[in-house]
Amino acid sequence: MDRDALALELISQIYRAAAGELGWQDFVDELSEAYQGSLVYLSLGAPGHHSSSFHYAAGSPEDFGASLSRSWIDLFPWKASHATAFFEGFDSAGHLFPDVAIEDLPFYRLWMAPRGLPPVWPICFREPTSRVYASGEIIVLRQEGTGASPEFSPQEIALGNLLVPHLRRSFEVHREIAGIEWNSLALQEVVERLRLGVILLDSERRLLQSNRSADRVLAGQGGLQLRERKLVGLKPGDDRKLQAAIGRAQENAGRRLFQYEVDEYFRFDRKPQGPNLELQVRPLLSGAPGSAARDAVVVVLVTSQAELSTFPLQVMRRRYSLTNAEAELVKLLLQGASLRHAAERRGVALSTARGQLKAIFSKTGTNRQSQLVQVVLAGIDTLWDAELEGGLEMAVRPLVEEAGQ
């Protein structure tokens, strides 16, 4: 097969790999064959991270890819001026070290020679995401006993450079897809870490997804369970409230113009059998076409009062500029106390408690007790994270960074 025909075949493999019809491993295998059985290593980076996250290797010895990646960095005498080397296209590493014999390099002595590779300069191509860092890299090393010429010929380097524009476009597609996947994984991890239970329902009221906190509630005796994948309250009265709220949320699902009042809050009173449950039912906006949660129309947020027993009082006080007395009153209301009972618990007159509640309404932007509970419950996990980790943003950032490593 002549060079142009071989290049067209490889280009086809590149785009099929980018589109997911074939894996990148198939392309690497084909490229190894095109280079007469040479070792070929491909690394693809994750968006926002300078270390590669996807590795593919073809040829012998087996499993050389991971060790090559580290040795390529550590055992070459790279200089700052080499930071953008190979960004223009395939080239021999020997062009960077014209006065050095490859046999004198630690990379040859410690990595190539022990694997029986001849003293031939590798060729490489790197695709940058920035001025310095590469998002994709291909390294090709000659092997003994393949019948190939000792050095990589200009024709072989030219073959690689015919692929470069197509590799760049395909690496860009990979970055976009990988970026979506990393963000999705990070968001999923954050939802799983919430103390607030999250339950997604479809238009038939069937369960689509729930996080760990919700699963704990559904597996317990808190008055909320699944029957044939549908959410039900164990008490008839509780179930009527729940189904009515879900029905109203379904009517508002997908609408962009609905009022905050369509978010419904109510409580399942389980005492003395167990802790009460605080529930919030909300309609969702329409999902993007093809999105994983496109079928979700209603979200049910659930919190056990056992969780509220450790409510971060001082963080809530700072968040809303509440006095200590006002914050204590909010906590008692969240735990199911009436205003009269909360006043008695705190040893103040009911009129004093009413005055404090009025001040709380003003500071939280609410105008009735149920709406106050909704607002606080909606932000309950950010309050906990603010106490434990300095805010939700600080909790998410290391998680996203870890996902790309």
For 282-300, the three-class secondary structure string (H helix, E strand, C coil) is: EECCCCCCCCCCCCCCEEE
Range with the lowest mean pLDDT among 104-108, 204-208, 261-265, 302-306?
261-265
Q: Measured at the alpha carbon of residue 389, what is the angle toward residues 385 and 394, in degrees to the nearest 5?
A: 95
| DSSP 8-state assignment for residue 206 | B
Name the nearest CA neighbour of 43 among 238, 178, 197, 206: 178
Strand partners, 264: 281
Is the fold of 3-182 the same as that of 194-305?
yes
Q: What class has domain 310-405?
A: mainly alpha
What angle do the packed helices 392-403 and 380-389 form, to 10 degrees? Answer: 80
The per-residue b/e assignment along 27-55, b for 16 or more CB within 10 angstroms, e otherwise, is bbbbbbebbebbbbbbbbbbbebeebeeb
Q: Could you tell me which residues come within 8 angstroms of residue 369 by beta carbon, excluding any fewer than 6 positions away?
A: 333, 339, 357
375 burial level (CB within 10 Å; 0-12, 13-18, 19+): middle
pLDDT at residue 129, rounded to an integer: 62
pLDDT at residue 171, rounded to an integer: 86
User: Phi/psi of residue 182, each to 5°?
Assistant: -65, -45
Assign domain 3-182 to its CATH superfamily.
Answer: Transcription factor LuxR-like, autoinducer-binding domain (3.30.450.80)
Q: How far apart are CA 298 and CA 247, in angstroms?
A: 9
Name the nearest CA neighbour of 199 among 233, 171, 153: 233
Question: What percent of the chain lies above the pLDDT cut of 90?
Answer: 28
Is 0.85 topped by the overall pTM? no
| DSSP 8-state assignment for residue 386 | H
The CATH T-level fold of domain 194-305 is: Beta-Lactamase (3.30.450)
Residue 355 has pLDDT above 90, yes or no: yes
For residue 217, what are its two tokens?
């509630």
Domain assignments of the chain as residue spans, ordered by start: 3-182, 194-305, 310-405
Instruction: Give the model confidence (pLDDT) of 66-97 as tens digits.
Output: 788 888 888 998 888 887 889 999 999 999 99
The whole-number average pLDDT for the span 335-343 is 80
Q: How far apart are CA 252 and CA 250, in angstroms?
A: 5
